[in-house]
């Protein structure tokens, strides 16, 4: 998709105390899906398995001062399976997989697209990752489709992120989103972990500006992602809030 971004001052200049100030821009699409289900363990009828799959898509483009737009796709696909038997007080982890670039791994294949009205979106991809319980490398395949169920919600974000004595970041922007159902498959080793419909889902788009101050090294730093700490609710999901929670 093509986005129109507002103008922003991209000049970098020293500020009092030797700090360096930089302005930048962000534009992009995002989507989120949360699948939850439970079933009897086929290998142990006395145990119930609870499955939770998170898919977070952030197809960002960023522009640092004096530079062009740089693609920065961020994907996280996580699979959690926990088991419990009658009489037990807590669940036991059975599987925990993290994959995709936002989890620190490679996006081996990636195709995401959304309609201009945020009515529908699709994700097709293969993502490298790790079984966090065994340390073994894995590959996770995702083939999902989102269909909007709610109206477009407009949101404004104005967020401050402060690391005392080191970094100050400000993000200001707007986002549009719609609640959505997602369906499809997230497969690992031939097993699909998303047989149930989503518990919650979102399709959205964002445009934002960043204002960053490096208080230490005296070099320009434009780091929009750590600054996105906006709150999100199921009724009014925001881009900042979703990134803060699922990145």
Along the 247 residues of the chain, how does pLDDT read in single tens digits?
323 333 233 333 334 444 555 677 888 899 999 999 999 999 999 999 999 999 999 998 887 766 788 888 999 999 999 999 999 999 999 999 999 999 999 999 999 999 999 999 999 999 999 999 999 999 999 999 999 999 999 888 777 677 766 666 777 788 899 999 999 999 999 999 998 767 789 999 988 776 666 665 544 444 443 333 333 333 334 444 444 443 3
Q: Is residue 5 assigned to a domain?
A: no
Number of domains within the chain = 1
Closest Cα partner for 23 from 66, 74, 73?
66
| pTM confidence score | 0.75
Assess if residue 229 is contained within a domain: yes
Res 76: pLDDT: 97
How many angstroms from the chain centroid is the CA of residue 2? 20
Q: Six-digit token pair at 57? A: 């898509």
pLDDT score at 206: 83
What are the residue ranges of helices labelled H in 132-189?
none
Residue in 111, 153, 120, 114 with CA at minimum distance from that of residue 237: 153
Do the Cβ atoms of 30 and 190 come closer than 8 Å? no
Among 119, 151, 126, 152, residue whose Cα is nearest residue 140: 126
Provide the pLDDT for residue 140.
98
Q: Considering the domain boundaries, does residue 89 fall inside one?
A: yes
Asked if residue 3 is part of any domain, the answer here is no
Q: Give the C-alpha distances (Å, rounded to integers) separating 3 from 26, 61, 70, 237.
A: 10, 10, 14, 20
In a domain, 2, yes or no: no
Give the structural domain span for 209.
Answer: 13-246
Q: Which residues contact 67 (CB under 8 A, 6 or more apart)?
A: none
């Amino acid at each position: 998709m093509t986005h129109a971004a507002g103008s922003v001052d991209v000049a970098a200049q020293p500020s009092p105390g030797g700090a360096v100030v930089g302005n930048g821009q962000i534009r992009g699409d995002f989507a989120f899906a949360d699948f939850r289900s439970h079933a009897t363990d086929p290998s142990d009828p006395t145990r119930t398995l609870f499955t939770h799959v998170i898919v977070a898509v952030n197809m960002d483009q960023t522009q640092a001062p004096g530079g062009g737009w740089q693609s920065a796709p961020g994907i996280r696909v996580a699979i959690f399976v926990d088991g419990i038997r009658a009489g037990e007080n807590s669940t036991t982890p059975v599987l925990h997989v993290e994959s995709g670039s936002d989890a620190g791994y490679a996006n081996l294949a990636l195709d995401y697209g959304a309609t201009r009205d945020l009515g529908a979106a699709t994700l097709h991809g293969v993502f490298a990752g790790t079984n966090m319980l065994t340390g073994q490398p894995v590959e996770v395949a995702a083939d999902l489709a989102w269909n909007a169920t709610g109206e477009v919600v407009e949101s404004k974000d104005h967020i401050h992120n402060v690391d005392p004595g080191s970094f100050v970041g400000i993000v200001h922007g707007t986002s549009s989103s719609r609640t959505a159902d997602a369906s499809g498959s997230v497969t690992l080793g031939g097993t699909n972990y998303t047989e149930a419909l989503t518990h919650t889902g979102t399709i959205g788009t964002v445009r934002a500006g960043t204002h960053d101050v490096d208080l230490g090294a005296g070099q320009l730093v434009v780091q929009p992602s750590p600054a996105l700490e906006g709150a999100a609710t199921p009724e009014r999901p925001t881009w900042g809030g979703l990134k803060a929670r699922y990145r």
